[in-house]
């Protein structure tokens, strides 16, 4: 059965939604995706930073269809954040992934993240941004090399 981690599976390119086959390189792990999610907010997570990161990790793995063992989540509490002229709870998020960045998955991921942000940080759905980025394999380092 094909999965997001199958060698030779078409991956979404950054330019104009082009699809490309990934060539196997010697001594490189192929087909492994490493979504990373960074969040900044002035709000304090109800379950603590580690609790928030764990909730987001499982949420993102499910939403993106990736194994949680490859998901990296960081939370940074900032001294202040102003969104739309207000310092009410808000958040800025950045998601980078090797594949799985598509309009459909972005919409589903945004909704899933919004639920966690509301529960953990009291951030309403209209007070956060997520920047989605489809990384090139050669620009993602892991295990002493790149993907």
pLDDT for 138: 82
pLDDT for 121: 98
Q: How far apart are CA 7 and CA 123, in angstroms?
A: 39
Which is more confidently placed, 27 or 61?
61
Average of pLDDT values for 89-96?
96
Average of pLDDT values for 129-143?
86
pLDDT for 98: 85
pLDDT for 33: 57
Please identify every residue annotated as catalytic. Answer: 35
Average of pLDDT values for 92-103?
91
Q: Is the pLDDT of residue 80 over 90?
A: yes
Q: Is the pLDDT of residue 94 over 50?
A: yes
Helix (H) or strand (E) holding 128: strand 128-134
Whole-prediction pTM value?
0.75
Mean of all residue pLDDT scores within the chain: 81
Q: How far apart are CA 147 and CA 140, in angstroms?
A: 6
Structural contact between residues 94 and 110, judged by C-beta atoms closer than 8 angstroms: no
How confident is residue 118, by pLDDT bands cut at 50, 70 and 90? very high
pLDDT for 53: 98
């Amino acid at each position: 059965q094909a999965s997001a981690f199958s060698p030779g599976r078409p991956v979404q390119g950054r330019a104009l939604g082009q699809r490309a086959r990934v060539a196997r390189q010697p001594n490189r792990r192929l087909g492994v995706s490493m979504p990373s999610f960074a969040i900044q907010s002035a709000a304090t997570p109800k379950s603590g930073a580690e609790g928030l990161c764990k909730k987001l990790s499982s949420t993102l793995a499910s939403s993106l269809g990736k194994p949680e063992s490859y998901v990296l989540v960081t939370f940074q509490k900032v001294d202040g954040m102003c969104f739309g002229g207000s310092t009410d709870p808000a958040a800025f998020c950045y998601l980078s992934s090797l594949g799985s960045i598509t309009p459909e998955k972005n919409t589903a991921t945004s909704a899933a993240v919004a639920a966690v942000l509301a529960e953990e940080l009291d951030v309403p759905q209209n007070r956060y941004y997520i920047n989605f980025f489809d990384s090139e394999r050669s620009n993602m380092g892991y295990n002493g090399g790149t993907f």
